Structure 1
Amino acid sequence: MIVIHTAIAIVVIIVLIIKAKVDPVISLIIGALYLGLATGVGFTATIVAIATGFGEIMGEVGLLIGFGVLIGAMLHAIGAFGKMVTMLVNGVGARRLPYALTAAMSTIFPSIYVDVQVVLASPVARSSGPLIGRTGLAHMAGALGTGIFAGYVFVIPGLAAVSIAGLLDIPLGLWLIYGLVLGPLTAILTTLIFRWLLRGRYWKSDRDEEVDEAMAELDTTELVEEDTKTPPLFVCLLPILVPLVMIAFGAFAELFGFSNDFITFLGDANFALFVGLLGAYALCRRTLGSKGTDTAMSEGFHTTGEILLITGIGGSLGAVIGETGLDTILAGLFTADAAAPVILSILLAWVIAAVLHLAIGSVSVAAIAAAGIIGPVLGSINISPLVIGLAIASGAMFALQVNSNFFWMFKSLIGLSTQGTFKTLTMGTSIASVVSLPMVLAVALIA
């Protein structure tokens, strides 16, 4: 019954938001209350889970969102993103922008937290979308979400990739070789398929795009009066590049065993983004002066509030799902048969990870839980742990939706309606998950 009630809760949330036009915050709380009470979590424990889940998510991403949005607001105000988009269009052409973005996200930035990636990259997606055409924002959004998660699950040192490899005792070097092929290939193929999907009547801008007033102000307010006053592009990008380098250095230091307390401090995402914020603030003050900087900061603060609230409530729903004990039930439902053929074992691993992700709402948690379920029986399966691990990674991407706090961050930062987020992020991760599965089957032939 817990599985059924979880499905009902997710369906209720979707119907309330899309059909009844109920605000997502209210809809998510209703769904969380229903799930907690219907599954026997209890009145008090449900409320505690909602509050605790909100607090835990804010502890994890609250500062990241706040610092990231403020960096974006100030860089936009000095014309940095406009300059970046112009360079990209001149360099790769408007039509190739989504492919360049998804390739970069799936290969260069997997060491960065997904929350940081979307916060820093969303202004580029929003700014360049109109240059591609009527469905440009949708194409850029799909490319961004796909690239982020393809890198996250397949490419070392993405958190999900490292976790799966560690739990299944797969050498990181071996995983890296295959992941560097599967990650970007999945992202680029998915972005191409998504482009074909957008050629029809799939995307309806009036319903699927929903830039709120705060985001609209942030998108349209370039306070710099002349392009010549904007610092050189490389200098403009330092508030983004420096945090990325700091975080990546910390991740690689830990990966290769030479980390220490100071390196951990430097590589912490919150501190790294604060350094970026200081850099953006200094650039903004130098370019626009005190008054212009205050205006840009105010617009950033205006945008941050709604994103923080809806992200936190998404975490509340995830916490209630965790209290139901759904992962334990799924572990009992799926058992590995020692005599199962290779294809069936791969499909089983994919399904376990996909179902866990649909239920829990976290790619990394689904990947870790699936690896924990399958790991103990790997010895009785006549198949490489690498292949099972890649199947788990593929399934863990499937259909990121409303019970993920990332879903709501993505929605707000890109400027989409809930329906538009389903059509881009949920559809993109679903296609990526399915597209990568045959690749995993192909790896089974050679691994």
Structure 2
Amino acid sequence: MELLIVGFGILILLFLIMKVKLNTFVSLVIVSILVAVGLGMPLTQIITTVENGIGSQLGHLALVFGFGAILGKLVSDSGGAYRISTTLINKFGRKKIQIAVLTASFIIGIALFFEVGLVLLIPIVFTIASELGISILYLGIPMAAALSVTHGFLPPHPAPTAISGIYEANIGMVLLYGFVIAVPTSIIAGPLYTKIAKKIVPDAFNRTGNISALGEQKAFSIEETPSFGISTLTSLFPVILMALATCYELVRGGKITEKSSMIDQVIAFIGTPGMAMLLSLIFAIYTMGIRRKQTMPEIMKSAEDAIKQIAMMLLIIGGGGAFKQVLIDGGVGDYVAQLFVNSTLSPLILGWVIAAVLRICLGSATVAALTAAGLAAPLMATTGTNPALMVIATGAGSLIASHVNDAGFWMFKEYFNLSIKETFATWTVLESIISVVGLIGALVLNLIV
């Protein structure tokens, strides 16, 4: 009965978002309340549950997401992302141009959110393709693969960061395992799949693209941009801090507590996601702003623009947190755990399947991942599955089969001037490859660790 109520709630959510065109955040809150009523929760408790869900989700995420958005904006506005991409492309040369684009997109994708990275990199890809006389899609597929992998697998991106909190996973471990899985996944879904895509839809590789869909772009001269080294270091700084703290804890052996030495506590403190992002942001303000003779008002203008861009996404994530909390407080999570208590099905597969179904239905990878995590978390706890791998498996499921209800589908179609069929054969398939390979990677690592 509980699952029927949840299923009915998801159908209402689909109707509100796709047919009524109601804002996603408002739709999530309405559905959360309706599902709570359907589950028989006390009416006086429902709004408290919704508020707690939004508060706990954003309380964990606001620092990381907010600071991350500002950092990415500073790297973008200063020309740091432009420097990274052009330097790597020039370094690798024509023969390895796909690997150059993949590497640049991966580095930039860690610092920038998916849509921002796509808009920033496409003009560069178009220019390089024109100079070398090659297909824009030949470079576009590796670029999209790298951006999508970082979006789905690696903090500080919204979904992996948010579900790390739900699963109580160490974000440093999510990063370490995420990198191990993300690199081969990017190569398979990018350069390797490009060879197959050329045979499936050869005409798509003759398109000239539609750069006008991007609007007016800021032009950079290489001389005015920060150096490659400082741009890369700034982009990767939060990842480096969190990874170093995690590696230190692993080498040290045992969890760091308030009784540990001061050095241990300082390293753990610096490596916490919120602190790592704050230190990285301060570093970026200097390297991407002050060091380049920018005034503080100019730097803060970029910061304000970044926050405006993510405001609605923060609310949507909060709405997803409300729905998740209703599922937990309403007993749905425990019910799912009981259903699978004697099952041999891995929680990694369950989390992936739930996220995949929701992704196909809803379109939003972030909402799909959050809802799936709320359902799978109790089962993970009872089976002792590695929380970091649960994050990656659920994130992978939330990427599958992007189609007409996902903004990314239409962005890719318009920018590369593709038909619907060609977009399905390129974008939808590469997203599905990332999803399946990500799950396989999590399952393999689960056998090792």
Q: 1:325 aligns with which of 328, 331, 355?
A: 331
Whether 1:250 aligns to 2:245 is yes
Whether 1:295 aligns to 2:301 is yes
Q: Which residue pairs with 1:236 in the alignment? A: 231
Residue by residue, what CA displacement relative to the aligned partner does 1:46-95 show, whole Å, maximum 9, x if unpaired?
21122111111221110112211111222222211111121233345554
Distance 1:3 1:444 in 2: 28
The offset of 1:3, in angstroms, is: 0.8
Checking the alignment, whether the CA contact within 8 Å between 1:54 and 1:313 is kept in structure 2 is yes
Whether 1:17 aligns to 2:10 is no
> In structure 2, what residue type is equivalent to 1:62?
A
Distance 1:416 1:32 in 2: 32
Checking the alignment, whether the CA contact within 8 Å between 1:239 and 1:279 is kept in structure 2 is yes
Matches within 5 A, 1:48-127: 48-92=48-92, 95-96=98-99, 99-100=102-103, 117=110, 119=112, 123-127=116-120
Closer/same/farther in 2, CA of residues 302 and 440 from structure 1, 3 Å limit = closer
Closer/same/farther in 2, CA of residues 242 and 54 from structure 1, 3 Å limit = same
Whether 1:276 aligns to 2:280 is yes
Q: 1:144 aligns with which of 144, 147, 158?
A: 147
Distance 2:270 2:398 in 1: 31
The offset of 1:308, in angstroms, is: 2.2
> In structure 2, what residue type is equivalent to 1:235?
I
Q: Secondary structure at the match of 2:252?
A: coil
Closer/same/farther in 2, CA of residues 136 and 281 from structure 1, 3 Å limit = same
Q: Which residue pairs with 1:315 in the alignment? A: 321
Q: Which residue pairs with 1:128 in the alignment? A: 121
Q: How many residues of Structure 1 are paired with residues of Structure 2 in the alignment?
A: 380
Closer/same/farther in 2, CA of residues 9 and 365 from structure 1, 3 Å limit = closer
Q: 1:266 aligns with which of 252, 263, 270?
A: 270
The offset of 1:188, in angstroms, is: 3.5
Distance 2:105 2:222 in 1: 28
Distance 1:165 1:288 in 2: 40
Closer/same/farther in 2, CA of residues 287 and 35 from structure 1, 3 Å limit = same
Closer/same/farther in 2, CA of residues 88 and 20 from structure 1, 3 Å limit = farther
Closer/same/farther in 2, CA of residues 411 and 60 from structure 1, 3 Å limit = farther
Checking the alignment, whether the CA contact within 8 Å between 2:84 and 2:231 is kept in structure 1 is no
> In structure 1, what residue type is equivalent to 2:120?
S
Residue by residue, what CA displacement relative to the aligned partner does 1:4-45 show, whole Å, maximum 9, x if unpaired?
221222232233223332221222122212211111123332
Residue by residue, what CA displacement relative to the aligned partner does 1:358-385 show, whole Å, maximum 9, x if unpaired?
688447666654444445xxxxxxxxx9
Closer/same/farther in 2, CA of residues 444 and 397 from structure 1, 3 Å limit = closer
Closer/same/farther in 2, CA of residues 227 and 65 from structure 1, 3 Å limit = same
Q: Secondary structure at the match of 1:289?
A: coil
Structure 1 gap ranges (5+): 106-115, 153-157, 167-171, 203-208, 338-344, 376-384, 403-409, 418-422
TM-score between both structures, scaled by the size of structure 2: 0.65
Checking the alignment, whether the CA contact within 8 Å between 1:9 and 1:35 is kept in structure 2 is yes
Distance 1:446 1:248 in 2: 20
The offset of 1:284, in angstroms, is: 0.9
Residue by residue, what CA displacement relative to the aligned partner does 1:279-309 show, whole Å, maximum 9, x if unpaired?
2222313325215324323322322422322
Checking the alignment, whether the CA contact within 8 Å between 1:150 and 1:183 is kept in structure 2 is yes
Distance 2:231 2:376 in 1: 37
TM-score between both structures, scaled by the size of structure 1: 0.65
Q: 1:352 aligns with which of 339, 350, 353?
A: 350
Q: Which residue pairs with 1:35 in the alignment? A: 35
Closer/same/farther in 2, CA of residues 77 and 252 from structure 1, 3 Å limit = same
Distance 1:348 1:45 in 2: 33
Distance 1:36 1:194 in 2: 44
Distance 1:15 1:128 in 2: 34
Distance 2:330 2:252 in 1: 37
Q: Which residue pairs with 1:285 in the alignment? A: 290
Closer/same/farther in 2, CA of residues 62 and 332 from structure 1, 3 Å limit = same
Distance 1:263 1:297 in 2: 27
Distance 1:438 1:71 in 2: 32
Closer/same/farther in 2, CA of residues 303 and 121 from structure 1, 3 Å limit = closer
Distance 2:272 2:442 in 1: 33
Residue by residue, what CA displacement relative to the aligned partner does 1:134-157 show, whole Å, maximum 9, x if unpaired?
6977864554333565679xxxxx
Matches within 5 A, 1:349-428: 351-354=349-352, 357=355, 361-362=369-370, 369-374=378-383, 396-397=394-395, 399-400=397-398
Q: Which residue pairs with 2:403 in the alignment? A: none
Higher mean alpha-carbon deviation, 251-260 vs 317-326, is at 251-260
Residue by residue, what CA displacement relative to the aligned partner does 1:87-140 show, whole Å, maximum 9, x if unpaired?
2333455544675478779xxxxxxxxxx9465676444422341646977864
Closer/same/farther in 2, CA of residues 254 and 262 from structure 1, 3 Å limit = same
Checking the alignment, whether the CA contact within 8 Å between 1:145 and 1:425 is kept in structure 2 is no
Percent same amino acid among aligned pairs?
Answer: 21
Q: Which residue pairs with 1:189 in the alignment? A: 188
Distance 1:147 1:77 in 2: 21
> In structure 2, what residue type is equivalent to 1:2?
E
Closer/same/farther in 2, CA of residues 221 and 272 from structure 1, 3 Å limit = farther
Q: Secondary structure at the match of 1:266?
A: helix
Checking the alignment, whether the CA contact within 8 Å between 2:114 and 2:151 is kept in structure 1 is no
